[in-house]
Amino acid sequence: MAMKFQQRQLQKQVQIMSQKQIHSLNILSMSSQDLNTEIIKAAEENPALVITEKYARSKKILRDNLRISSSTKDGELASESHQAALEAYSDNRKSLTEHFLSQLNMLNLPPAEFELCEKLIYNLDSKGFHFLAPVSLLDKKNRSHTLGLLYKCMDRIQQFDPPGLCVKNMEESLFIQAKQRGNAPELALFLLDGKLNFLDPLKIEKIHDKIKKYLDDHKKMIGFTESSMRYTNFNLTDEEIKEALIFIRSLDPFPARNFSTEETHYISPDIEVEKIEGTDLPESGTIVGDNEILLNVRNTEETVPKVSINEVDIKLLESKDLSEEEKKELSEKIRKAKELMEAIAYRENTMLRACSEIVRIQLEFFKKGPGHLSPLRLQDIADKLGVHETTISRMSNSKYILCDWGLFNIKYFFTNAASTQDKTISRDKVMFVMKQIIVNNTGNKKMSDQKIVEELEKREIKIARRTVAKYRNLLNIESSYNR
């Protein structure tokens, strides 16, 4: 059979990225720490690129915390001597991380639990508070990493010596210490449970009025759950308030004070989300919100060094003293410096635009915290920005958002829809509501999966019983038979 050759004309549209585009995407995918390294390396290799400000955050912290007793020469010398003494002092105390790891290694735990406990310990700052939001430590690819296991690990570390650490803030630390004592007055627990501001000013009559008003308003507007009914039985006498105050004073607000304060964390937020108070609008960033709340989404400028073109090289390029070869070499260095600056600007602009959309879509989370995420895909943000999905994936890689609820990996805000009839509810939200239902159940009988289905329906969440069982397993909560 004879072979036949045919000639056909095909038209294809192929987009080939330039080296400049590839460089911009590489810069976009870098974490702040990697970008810092890249900028310092580029400045060392290219004299046309100048770092104008390298440690803005460190300078601000030093400036805010430096206390000079006098503006005189003697005062300055005393301050310098004190600073030199601090820098020369060697802190040989064991760090909190080392202390907690030694206690963890004494326990015989399953691998998944040990791994998550270890992550939580490395995630503590020098005060024993969470650095990153704990939920962001869960590995979504690891099925054994569930919310239930996370809460179990946090509870375990909170029992370590000293107790009351692995928490969000000082108030939560005091609350956990009070519960562990076992003899805390109910009024003390009430005040430590998110109402420590009632003690300002520290006057008995003022505290009495604030508690009474809160309880009255709560009964009228919201009502009490069965688990919080005990908080309605206060006598609210001066003696009862004094007893609560004496107990609170006996707790340690800083349990980690006796350990080394050597820094172990190097993660900084790339984006900050702050509430706008008053009528003054911020000068930079993007404003997102509704009638209830206004938020300012802005790049955290202190995480990346400031760079510019060397003015000496620009003037030198205009001079007649250089040969054509030298001018060509200098022009190339200036071009590379500009290319890096443009790539950094593209990174900041893309992060700000993408995170502003994330905050707009996940506004309920920024109002109420974990458990209030809406379904969100990478493609959704890509469509909003008019870019490819992989660009959003690069943007969210090893980047962090700081807000009132903690420090979160940007990828935390991307979550699938739950297996419900209403596809606008995220799995995160359904699991959060499920846990609240199970934890707040004060009945004699443990709730079956069918009963949980019915309780969810009362909250307008329609979900199959087998899905409840699936989510219950993800929360590391056993069936009603085994509970």
Q: Please provide residue 125's backbone torsions phi and psi, each rounded to the nearest 5 degrees.
A: -85, -175
CA distance 303 to 364: 27
Name the least confident of 49-53, 79-83, 131-135.
Answer: 79-83
pLDDT at 379: 94
Percent of the chain with pLDDT over 90: 27
Give the angle 276-279-281 at the CA atoms, nearest 5°: 60
Supply the pTM of this predicted model. 0.57
Per-residue pLDDT, averaged over 211-219, amounts to: 79
Please give the DSSP secondary-structure letter assigned to residue 95. Answer: B
Identify the bridge partners of residue 409 per DSSP, sorted by sequence position: 400
pLDDT at 380: 94
Name the least confident of 25-29, 111-115, 235-239, 358-362.
Answer: 235-239
CA distance 331 to 380: 41
Per-residue pLDDT, averaged over 62-81, amounts to: 35
Residue 258 above 90 pLDDT?
no
- Asked whether 355 and 297 are in contact (CB, 8 A), the reply is yes
Per-residue pLDDT, averaged over 293-309, amounts to: 87
Highest mean pLDDT among 25-34, 157-166, 277-286, 400-409: 157-166
Residue 9 above 70 pLDDT?
no
pLDDT at 77: 40
Per-residue pLDDT, averaged over 164-192, amounts to: 91
Name the least confident of 5-19, 70-84, 434-448.
Answer: 70-84
- Asked whether 402 and 267 are in contact (CB, 8 A), the reply is no
CA distance 23 to 91: 43
CB burial of 93-105 (b: ≥16 within 10 Å; e: otherwise) equals eebbbebbeeebe
